[in-house]
Amino acid sequence: MLRKKRLFKKERTFLGIQPAYKDNKKLIPNLIVDVAAIRNERLKVKRSDRQKMTLTVLAITLTCASAVFLIHFMASLTVKPLQLNTPVDQNKLIVQDTYIQFLTTGINFRQSKDYHLASLEFKKALLMNNQLVDAHLELLKMYLEQCSTKGINCDLVKEKREFVIQEYPDIGFIDYH
């Protein structure tokens, strides 16, 4: 004979207990349950789950906000490019750029042995900014080259050399003669 495949006993059905057993409270005291107590328990569990979720979302939000704030704060600490707010600052940069342009052009002319154009460019650089030592030194180098190769402007070498030593004693000037 085959085994019975019923999952429920005959007195219990899928939908519940048969009505004959419901009336007899002495036989099944555990099945009588307080529905309100179960509902209250479920509400407590839902409330605690909602509180946990709220705290988790709050913690994640605060972490993200603090990370964004720190990134923004660190970005503000980096070195920012020079911001020119006044026309005076812009004029200083223009003068410095033209000074450097005259100086490099003069060096190129000196290297190509075009001493007349080199002296004009160095003098233009000196007119732009007489306080910087670079143009004075380049003009002195050019006079030295002219004196050593062509034998001219030797008096200007001595004069310029004395001027540079007097005005800029910190350079550690090397004596060429």
Along the 177 residues of the chain, how does pLDDT read in single tens digits? Answer: 566 666 655 555 555 555 554 455 554 455 556 777 888 889 999 999 999 999 999 999 999 999 998 888 877 776 555 555 556 566 777 778 888 888 899 999 989 988 888 888 988 888 887 778 888 888 888 888 888 888 887 888 888 888 888 887 777 655 544
The three-point CA angle 175-120-129 to 5° equals 75
Per domain, the residue ranges of the chain are 8-80, 87-171
**Which helix H or strand E contains 70, and what residues bound it?**
helix 35-77
Q: Tokens 């603090």 sit at which residue?
A: 66
pLDDT digits (tens, 9 = 90+) for 89-139: 667 777 788 888 888 999 999 899 888 888 889 888 888 877 788 888 888
Output the CA–CA distances (angstroms, integers) from residue 177 to 57, 99, 145, 148, 163, in the order listed. 81, 29, 12, 10, 16
Determine whether domain 87-171 maps to CATH 1.10.10: no
**CA 27, CA 83: separation in Å to the nearest integer?**
91
How distant is the alpha carbon of residue 77 from its chain centre? Answer: 8
